[in-house]
Structure 1
């Protein structure tokens, strides 16, 4: 009996890229937890909008209205990145975290 021949296939670069991007994104999410609350308010909103776009996609909630200031700011931050893919948002999130950490 001869040993079975197993054909190996190369994993496409797009799969490797997606896995690497996801790994880097998860690392950036963890790093974000160590960033002080004292960072610029606009940076916080940018990170929020990018995170929601990267993890959920297109904004899927109704406009909370102007009376709820915090919810409205988060809604607007998420809507700001409408049109970006999840991967684009992940890449921008990673870049933003890196920039914020360098500025600390």
Structure 2
């Protein structure tokens, strides 16, 4: 797994159209978020948001769960999670293209 594969997976997820056949659950979104933050920033280094900031707390909790994971491992898990989440769509032409782009990036 390379940095380029990680960056390509991030780019694809960020640019998924709203009408995409991919339906990413909130739990999957949080997993992508936590692995991205761990890969790019390392361990969670902010205070936990207040109890009224439910979204902020969910993100913080998800990121804090991967505390101690190396950046390389987080990148690998991010790409692996991409393939797991979108595996059911591997026969869709658009997603088949995404799979190939990630696999073939240098």
TM range (shorter): 0.7 to 0.9
1:26 aligns with 2:11: no
Give the CA RMSD over aligned residues: 1.6
Q: What stretches of structure 1 of length at least 5 have no aligned partner?
A: 1-19
**Shift of residue 87, structure 1, vs aligned partner:** 0.3
Distance (whole Å) between structure 1 residues aligned to residue 26 and residue 84 of structure 2:
15
Give me the TM-score of the superposition, normalised by structure 1: 0.74
Larger RCO of the pair (alpha carbons < 8 Å, separation 6+): 2
* Cross-structure match for 2:45: 60
1:70 to 37, 55, 72: 55
Q: Which runs of 5+ in 2 are unaligned?
A: 90-106
4+ residue runs over 2 A deviation: 33-38
Q: TM-score, normalised by structure 2?
A: 0.73
SS in 2 for 1:65: coil
Asked which structure has the greater CA Rg, the reply is: 1
| Number of residue pairs matched by the alignment | 85
